[in-house]
Structure 1
Amino acid sequence: MVTLGLAHDLAFRELAFAWLAGKTAHGSRSLTRQEIEEFQGHSPEAPHRLLNQEGIWKPAALMATLSVTSGVATSRHNPYVDRVTKSGLVEYAFTDAPKKQHQNDGLRRAHVQGLPIIYFRAVRKSVYDAYFPVHVVGISEDRRVAFLDLTDTLGAHGRSDIGSVPPMGEIEVEYRGQVVRRRLHQRDFRSNVMFAYTSRCSVCSLGQTQLLDAAHILADSRGGLPEISNGLALCKIHHAAYDANIMGVDGDHRIHIREDILQEVGGPVLEHGFQRRHREMLRVVPENHRFSPNREHLAARFEEFQSAG
């Protein structure tokens, strides 16, 4: 197969990024492998699939690697489980398979030529968060790893347009590493909470993914862990109300609305969004009881609501 020139190669990557942006609702939802495979052939300009199996994927016609795919973090003996460095770069291991050394060469060329790639990070089996555009900013031949910079992809919706990262001092680099690790964990948390709550608000059942958040019951500062049982799927208005102690949820999953809001006179959003929700039970909770909101966490958080009222 004839290798495409640089202009055609970049045009294909831009097509892939634009398709992923729409498919993921700009990073607000994860994708199954089956959904990702819908890319190939959706238009005449999309002759290549976006990922192979776990590992490095370079279509023969492209100049460099198109994507890398991680394994699930809990998998044992998986060479493609990522590691985040102190400075916030993802270390991605080369393949050791003798017949796939051209895939390692593809990562080297992406580094030399500055070609952006896609990083599919597994959050569950065959379910991925897509990070793009990602740049290969370094190669360690001794350790046989590539260093991926996700900084440009970690905006509010998981991605941003292609751009460069300004140089940082030593302290700033360490801070950036903390930010990257935190945001990776936040996206994992969001993906798993959305899955458990079938992408619907637990209070009003709204099912528009872009309008949903994964809310922490107990904040990090109070020892809350990024676990599904410490999360609620909430639409943005109910998330804001929960954080502002306008709305509380007790340990029995019952919704409470602050007294002054109950007495306020307003329009349909106030009435249907809040006043009629008072003392209702959560409408959506995970079917798997292991993922149900932790009653002790809810009770502790509910005390905050009562104190604020």
Structure 2
Amino acid sequence: MAWLRQRCTPEDPVVRRDELLGFQFEGRTFPLIDNQLGIRKPQGMTAALSILTTYTSDGARAPYEDAVGDDGLLRYKFQGNPRHYTNVGLRAAFDQRVPLMWFFGIKQGLYLPFFPVWIVAVEVASSQVAVALDEAQRHLLIDSVGSEIERRYSQRITKQRLHQPVFRQRVIQAYESSCAMCHLRHRSLLDAAHIVPDRETRGVPAVSNGVSLCKIHHAAYDENILGVRPDYVIEVRADILEEIDGPMLKHGLQELQNLRLTLPRRRADRPDPNLLEERYERFRAVS
């Protein structure tokens, strides 16, 4: 985990599969993930070391949508037979209260790490464990036993620690670490802008509801200074086009008029035209 803290910076927070498999500890290779299984329980250790969620294209749904309970806690399924040694390792991690690492796939062979995480319940009937992403979640009551305030608090933690980081990295990776409007390539200056805000029902944290934008163009999009039509063409609000100011206004905003978004290579990662149209109508209402 100390190595991950050094390796995963704000500029480059994701880690490659080959790095995890080739990790060196005390002069020997000590993989942090299993080469074939989702649970890593090294020989000679009683408890599991890490869990992994394989990358899947999310389409119009968040990839973790079915894996988070109403209590805000991640649910991680057993590896086949509950008596399999990896599942025994998960139960041991619960019994011993030891932390694990969770590697979430955001692209083929690329993972966003979450650590430390803790197993806070073993749900045998559902062949799964409940995983806390934050120290505060370790002390919350599970499922319906907890209060409504506790559940909302836990859900907010999961949104901040899971939904938002995964959404950001998936969108930025889909756009190859570039602003879709101005092509700025500094990752630390890029955001994953929601088309439909995430506070709304249709504002799912899926790549198709996002656009990689630099911070200036993200703010301009949120403030309806810029709009994007369903055909991916950018429009600048009429009053902004008429303003006279410095080079930022001219080159950073006004010259975007009628330019087209630079889109992801994969068609499934491109903005959903229906969501763009819904957002564009809001832009037109204030233009």
* TM-score interval, normalised by the smaller of the two chains: 0.7 to 0.9
Shift of 1:243: 0.4
Q: Which residue of 2 aligns with 1:48?
A: 30
Please tell me whether residue 241 in structure 1 is matched to residue 220 in structure 2: yes
Shift of 1:117: 0.9
User: Which one is further off, 289-298 or 196-205?
Assistant: 289-298
Give, as a single letter, the amino acid of the residue that structure 2 aligns with 1:206.
Answer: L
Q: Which residue of 1 aligns with 2:275?
A: 297
For 1:113 and 1:212, locate their aligned partners in 2 and report how far apart those are by CA, in whole Å. Answer: 40
SS of residue in 2 equivalent to 1:111: helix
Shift of 1:302: 2.3
What stretches of structure 1 of length at least 5 have no aligned partner? 1-13, 76-80, 153-162
For 1:225 and 1:15, locate their aligned partners in 2 and report how far apart those are by CA, in whole Å. Answer: 33
For 1:68 and 1:82, locate their aligned partners in 2 and report how far apart those are by CA, in whole Å. Answer: 17
Q: Number of aligned pairs?
A: 273
Q: 2:105 aligns with which of 122, 138, 141?
A: 122
Q: Which residue of 2 aligns with 1:179?
A: 156
Shift of 1:69: 1.4
Q: 1:94 to 1:121 in 2, by over 3 A?
A: same
**What is the CA deviation profile of residues 138-178 of structure 1, one whole-angstrom value per residue up to 9, with x for unaligned ones?**
234565533210135xxxxxxxxxx7755475112332454
Q: Which residue of 2 aligns with 1:33?
A: 17
**What is the CA deviation profile of residues 21-52 of structure 1, one whole-angstrom value per residue up to 9, with x for unaligned ones?**
33xx37x75444234335x12x7578522111
Contact 2:73 2:158 (C-alpha < 8 Å) held by counterparts? no
Contact 1:135 1:149 (C-alpha < 8 Å) held by counterparts? yes
Shift of 1:204: 0.9
For 1:166 and 1:131, locate their aligned partners in 2 and report how far apart those are by CA, in whole Å. Answer: 18
Determine which structure has greater relative contact order: mean sequence separation of CA pairs < 8 Å that are 6+ residues apart, divided by chain length. Answer: 2
Q: 1:108 aligns with which of 73, 85, 91?
A: 91
Q: Which residue of 2 aligns with 1:265?
A: 245
Once the two structures are superposed, the pairs formed by residues 179-198 of structure 1 within 5 Å of their partners are: 179=156, 182=159, 184-198=162-176
Q: Which residue of 2 aligns with 1:66?
A: 49
Q: 1:114 to 1:47 in 2, by over 3 A?
A: farther
Q: 2:259 aligns with which of 277, 280, 298?
A: 280
Give, as a single letter, the amino acid of the residue that structure 2 aligns with 1:179.
Answer: R
For 1:307 and 1:187, locate their aligned partners in 2 and report how far apart those are by CA, in whole Å. Answer: 31
Shift of 1:130: 1.7
Q: 1:207 to 1:174 in 2, by over 3 A?
A: same
Q: Which residue of 1 aligns with 2:70?
A: 86
Give, as a single letter, the amino acid of the residue that structure 1 aligns with 2:77.
Answer: A
Q: 1:175 to 1:164 in 2, by over 3 A?
A: closer
Q: Normalized against structure 2, the TM-score is what?
A: 0.77
SS of residue in 2 equivalent to 1:274: helix
Q: 1:297 to 1:186 in 2, by over 3 A?
A: same
What is the aligned-residue identity percentage?
34
Please tell me whether residue 15 in structure 1 is matched to residue 2 in structure 2: yes
Shift of 1:68: 1.0
Shift of 1:67: 0.4
Shift of 1:229: 3.1
**What is the CA deviation profile of residues 102-129 of structure 1, one whole-angstrom value per residue up to 9, with x for unaligned ones?**
x334333432333221112234554433
SS of residue in 1 equivalent to 2:171: helix
Give, as a single letter, the amino acid of the residue that structure 1 aligns with 2:147.
Answer: E
**What is the CA deviation profile of residues 168-220 of structure 1, one whole-angstrom value per residue up to 9, with x for unaligned ones?**
75112332454366554444443432233112110011122232222222235
SS of residue in 1 equivalent to 2:89: helix
Contact 2:33 2:40 (C-alpha < 8 Å) held by counterparts? yes
Once the two structures are superposed, the pairs formed by residues 201-212 of structure 1 within 5 Å of their partners are: 201-212=179-190
Contact 1:54 1:70 (C-alpha < 8 Å) held by counterparts? no
Contact 2:133 2:158 (C-alpha < 8 Å) held by counterparts? no
Contact 1:64 1:109 (C-alpha < 8 Å) held by counterparts? yes
- Give the root-mean-square deviation of aligned CA atoms: 3.5
**What is the CA deviation profile of residues 264-291 of structure 1, one whole-angstrom value per residue up to 9, with x for unaligned ones?**
423x433432233233222x21223443
Q: Normalized against structure 1, the TM-score is what?
A: 0.72
Contact 2:137 2:154 (C-alpha < 8 Å) held by counterparts? no
SS of residue in 1 equivalent to 2:8: helix
What stretches of structure 2 of length at least 5 have no aligned partner? 59-64
Shift of 1:15: 2.0
